């Protein structure tokens, strides 16, 4: 090779080494900047809603790289992001698991733990109360909440869960609601709550769910109103049965599956579910790390607003029930007044009938006396008539005897006249 070529080759090698040095020197700041951006994105937006499966990053080495939010970063960065946050309470076992790949993966893992704990409950009633809540022994009006009670979106749901818990503890209508059926409602409601976070958004399904629930609630309220207005009238038992069947229909509609309205709605529901079910400090931090501060604060605010609305809704229901009571009371008062008026009329009529009956009885006594007097006179007359008839019969017999005697005398007289006539004829010759 010519000396010039050697010089040029040497210069090229020096240039390549310089470029490599500059690239290596620049890679560190670029990587740090890239990592800082991803960390910032993780803090704000959290992990993806859905991942590729698996329980976490334990299968990867800390120095391996993964892709999150469109950027490459090391697994160690994800592990560091989740430090300081761990589940507690009923979900303490999740602290042993590696960071989740997605929000859905965390929700599904939480659901598995609930199912395991549910299966360990000794009785059907205990399972219902595990999900819906347990009435406090010291204060029956207080409820130790179950998972469903914590996840209630409104007062109507919470009231239904309380009814399930109370019915499981002391059944009021064992011939209408059985424990297995109530447990079925509770299981379905739990599945529906988790499906809002794990299922795909479906606006049509969400609208259908709300429509069915609204119609079932209206049917329940109408049946209850008919039952209340029936009071103790005929057919009350049938109206109560109709109300309880309508109530069962409402519970069935309430526990049916719905769907989130959008990806944003789905993610915030998942954030609210994770935050509510695990209120521990470590659990709240892990939820914020998982879904990001944006969705976490929105979900917490949403749950706070829902809880704040429940007392107000309870007051409104109380006002509504008071209004309903006043209407029913007025109706029953008017019915009572009408019945009282009718009763007074019946009493007056009864008094009139009693007076008429007494007068009729007096007339019967008087007429009976008159009849007895007339009968006595008739008996006397009959006796006299019979005596007269007997006397007349004797007299008639005497007259008949006399007539016979007179007839005999007439016969003798005729014979004497004939003898005289014969004697005179013999004397005179004529």
Interval 325-383: pLDDT, tens: 666 667 767 777 787 888 888 888 888 888 888 888 888 888 888 888 888 888 888 88
Q: In sequence order, what DSSP letters do the residues of 152-197 get, joined into one string? A: --SHHHHHHHHHHHHHHHS-S-TTT--HHHHHHHHHHHHHHHHHHH
For position 56, what pLDDT does the model report?
Answer: 44
* Cα–Cα separations (whole angstroms), residue 149 to 124, 161, 379: 18, 6, 99
pLDDT tens digits, 96-118: 667 777 889 889 999 999 999 99
pLDDT at 52 over 70: no
- Measured torsion, CA atoms of residues 197, 200, 201, 204, in degrees rounded to the nearest 10: -120
Q: Does residue 179 contact residue 125 with C-beta atoms inside 8 Å? A: yes
Mean pLDDT estimate for the chain: 80
Q: What tens digit of pLDDT does each residue of 72-92 get?
A: 667 777 777 788 788 888 888
DSSP structural state of residue 100: P
Backbone angles phi, psi at 2, to 5 degrees: -70, 155
Distance CA 246, CA 267 (A): 34
Distance CA 343, CA 335 (A): 12
Is the pTM above the cut of 0.95? no
Q: Which residue has the tokens 């695990």?
A: 278
**Mean per-residue pLDDT, 406-412:** 79
CA 81/CA 286 separation, integer angstroms: 10
Q: What is the largest CA-CA distance in the chain?
A: 245
């Amino acid at each position: 090779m010519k000396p010039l070529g050697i010089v040029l080759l040497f210069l090229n090698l020096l240039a390549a080494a310089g470029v490599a040095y500059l690239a290596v020197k620049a890679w560190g700041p670029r990587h740090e900047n890239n990592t800082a951006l991803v960390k910032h994105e993780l803090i704000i937006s959290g992990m993806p809603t859905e991942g590729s499966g698996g329980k976490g990053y334990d299968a990867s080495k800390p120095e391996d790289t993964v892709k999150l939010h469109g950027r490459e970063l090391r697994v160690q960065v994800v592990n560091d992001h989740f430090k300081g946050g761990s589940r507690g309470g009923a979900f303490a076992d999740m602290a042993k698991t590696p960071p989740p790949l997605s929000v859905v993966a965390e929700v599904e893992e939480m659901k598995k733990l609930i199912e395991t704990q549910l299966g360990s409950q000794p009785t059907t009633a205990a399972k219902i109360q595990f999900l819906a809540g347990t009435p406090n022994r010291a204060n029956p009006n207080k409820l130790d909440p179950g998972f469903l009670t914590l996840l209630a979106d409104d007062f109507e749901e919470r009231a239904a869960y309380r009814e399930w818990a109370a019915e499981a503890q002391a059944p009021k209508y064992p011939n209408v609601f059985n424990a297995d059926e109530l447990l079925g409602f509770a299981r379905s409601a739990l599945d529906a709550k988790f499906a809002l976070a794990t299922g795909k958004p479906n606006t049509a399904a969400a609208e259908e769910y709300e429509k069915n629930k609204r119609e079932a609630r209206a049917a329940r309220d109408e049946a209850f109103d008919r039952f209340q207005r029936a009071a103790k009238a005929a057919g009350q038992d049938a109206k109560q049965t109709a109300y309880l069947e309508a109530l069962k229909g409402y519970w069935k509609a309430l526990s049916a599956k719905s769907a989130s309205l959008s990806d944003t709605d789905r993610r915030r529901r998942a954030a609210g579910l994770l935050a509510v079910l695990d209120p521990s400090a470590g659990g709240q931090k892990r939820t914020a790390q998982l879904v990001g501060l944006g969705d976490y604060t929105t979900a917490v605010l949403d749950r706070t607003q829902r809880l704040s609305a429940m007392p107000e809704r309870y007051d409104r229901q109380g006002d509504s029930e008071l209004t309903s009571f006043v209407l029913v009371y007025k109706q029953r008062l008017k019915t009572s007044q009408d019945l009282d008026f009718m009763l007074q009329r019946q009493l007056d009529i009864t008094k009139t009938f009693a007076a008429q009956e007494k007068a009729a009885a007096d007339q019967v006594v008087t007429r009976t006396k008159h009849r007895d007097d007339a009968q006595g006179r008739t008996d006397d007359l009959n006796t006299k008539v019979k005596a007269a008839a007997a006397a007349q019969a004797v007299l008639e017999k005497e007259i008949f005897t006399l007539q016979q005697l007179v007839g005999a005398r007439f016969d003798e007289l005729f014979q004497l006249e004939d003898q005289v006539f014969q004697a005179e004829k013999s004397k005179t010759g004529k």
